[in-house]
Amino acid sequence: MNKVTVRDIDLKGKKVLMRCDFNVPLDENLNITDKTRIIAALPTIQYVLDQGAKLILCSHLGRPKGEVKKEFSLAPVAKELSVQLGREVKLADDIIGDSAKALTADMNEGDVVLLENVRYDAREEANDEEFSRELASLAEVYVNDAFGTAHRAHASTEGVSKFLPSACGFLIEKELEQLGDSLNNPVRPFVAILGGKKVSDKIGVINSLLDKVDTLIIGGAMAYTFFRAQGYSTGKSLVEEDKIDLAKELLAKAEAKGVKLLLPVDTKCGKEFSEDTETLVVKSNEIPDDWEGFDIGPESIELYKSVLAEAKTVLWNGPVGVFELKPFAIGTNAIAEYLAELTDCKTIIGGGDSAAAVTKAGLADKMTHISTGGGASLEFIEGKVLPGIECIPNK
């Protein structure tokens, strides 16, 4: 972690433009249903304010696709931030228009302004240079603390850095340290658990991890593509037919590198995708033709736990079953509960659905680190350059 951080810049009296990830879930009444991302941004926000800066916050929410849509307004975020910070957070009606300019023109030290959803303007995602310049003109320093969008080269995540002295916040610093340290200097044995729907979503991640881990545990629907690669029948389970040869190659690569690649030994199946479907547990190579695999079975849970018991570093990305449906959340919950018991092990949850599963199970505080980035975490694990971090100068 050798990037310039907020600690390295004199912020006293300066206007600071900070990119946060306030892409929070809202219910039908536009109430925030999960404040995790707001809470995660508070340490950097509070530090900047304590340094006597004038703070201009920006973020996206949802996918308005360049249009102003009320359901994607950051108004609920401004309200919640005001509560969390114990001071008024003024919401601009626009991003670089009259309202934003008026609210940011005569700020005092300690003032906080939140710009409206940056994705209301199509130039944000296009990383338009003129839009970036105008956004940067509101401030004197740029801070990126939105790890969840660091893999996007957008105006507010990368473009503005060309016009302002730039630094990263504590959230990005923590992500780089925790994820980076686990990948590059893991205490061994190093075990990775990968779940999710598709092998195609995780090709780069699997390839990267096979160069780093001692054991790779596979779960989720992508296991069925590996089963087919081994000649098993998979019933109605989700299989990527065009990735069967790739799965064979990955199995061969693991063997050649001496990495133990573990697939489920039994599978919990359902007749259909629903809460009240009939269920059946079978050996992984015996899935009946008219059944679909939705979760790992009890033998797989015990097998995976026996490997995790020896681990000193665990990286988990992706649930091992359809955890949204109660009958098929057992495997994912069992993994989460077991990781929570490992006191002598570094447990890194790689964002996205696995982070949601751990949070839903009430075990977030038992993990070493839960990443705030889904796609960003995957690309970081894969070894890709993240534009929102690359643009921050090195110390």
**Whole-angstrom Cα distance, residue 186 to residue 180?**
9
**Whole-angstrom Cα distance, residue 52 to residue 347?**
36
Q: Is 337 helix (H, G, I), strand (E, B) or coil?
A: helix
**Whole-angstrom Cα distance, residue 395 to residue 203?**
33
Contact status, residue 226 vs residue 182, Cβ threshold 8 Å: no
pLDDT value, residue 391: 97
Please pick, among 297, 318, 331, 352, the residue that the annotation labels catalytic.
352
Please pick, among 198, 248, 305, 366, the residue that the annotation labels catalytic.
198
Check if 19 is active-site.
no
Burial class (CB in 10 A: 0-12, 13-18, 19+), 168: buried
pLDDT value, residue 1: 66
The CATH class of 6-170 is alpha beta
Residue that has been written with the tokens 């990781």 in this structure? 339
**Whole-angstrom Cα distance, residue 59 to residue 119?**
8
So where are the chain's domains?
A: 6-170, 177-382
pLDDT value, residue 197: 83
pTM of the entire predicted model: 0.89
Please pick, among 3, 15, 37, 119, the residue that the annotation labels catalytic.
37
Check if 63 is active-site.
no
Q: Is 241 helix (H, G, I), strand (E, B) or coil?
A: helix
Residue that has been written with the tokens 């302002």 in this structure? 164
Laid out side by side, the sheet with 292-296 consists of 279-283, 266-270, 292-296
**Whole-angstrom Cα distance, residue 357 to residue 338?**
13
Q: In a structure prediction context, what are the per-residue pLDDT tens digits for the chain, which is 395 residues long?
A: 689 999 999 999 999 999 999 999 999 999 999 898 999 999 999 999 999 999 999 999 999 999 999 999 999 999 999 999 999 999 999 999 999 999 999 999 999 999 999 999 999 999 999 999 999 999 999 999 999 999 999 999 999 999 999 999 999 999 999 998 888 899 999 999 999 888 888 888 999 999 999 999 999 999 999 999 999 999 999 999 999 999 999 999 999 999 999 999 999 999 999 999 999 999 999 999 999 999 999 999 999 999 999 999 999 999 999 998 999 999 999 999 999 999 899 999 986 788 888 888 889 899 999 998 888 988 998 889 999 999 999 99
Contact status, residue 391 vs residue 385, Cβ threshold 8 Å: no
pLDDT value, residue 198: 82
**Whole-angstrom Cα distance, residue 317 to residue 339?**
13
Same fold? 6-170, 177-382:
yes
Angle at alpha carbon of residue 394, lines to 390 and 395, rounded to 5°? 160
Check if 198 is active-site.
yes
pLDDT value, residue 373: 83
Check if 352 is active-site.
yes
What is the DSSP secondary-structure string of 117-179? -GGGSTTTTTT-HHHHHHHHTT-SEEEE--GGGTTS--TTTTGGGGTS-EEE-HHHHHHHHHH
Cα-based torsion angle of the residue sequence 175, 177, 179, 182 in order, rounded to the nearest 10 degrees: -160
What is the DSSP secondary-structure string of 276-305? T--EEEEETT---TT-EEEEE-HHHHHHHH
Angle at alpha carbon of residue 109, lines to 106 and 112, rounded to 5°? 75
Contact status, residue 368 vs residue 178, Cβ threshold 8 Å: yes
What is the DSSP secondary structure assignment for residue 393, as one 8-state letter? P
225 Cβ neighbours under 8 A, 6+ residues apart: 198, 199, 239, 240, 243, 244, 247
Superfamily of domain 177-382: Phosphoglycerate kinase, N-terminal domain (3.40.50.1260)
pLDDT value, residue 34: 86
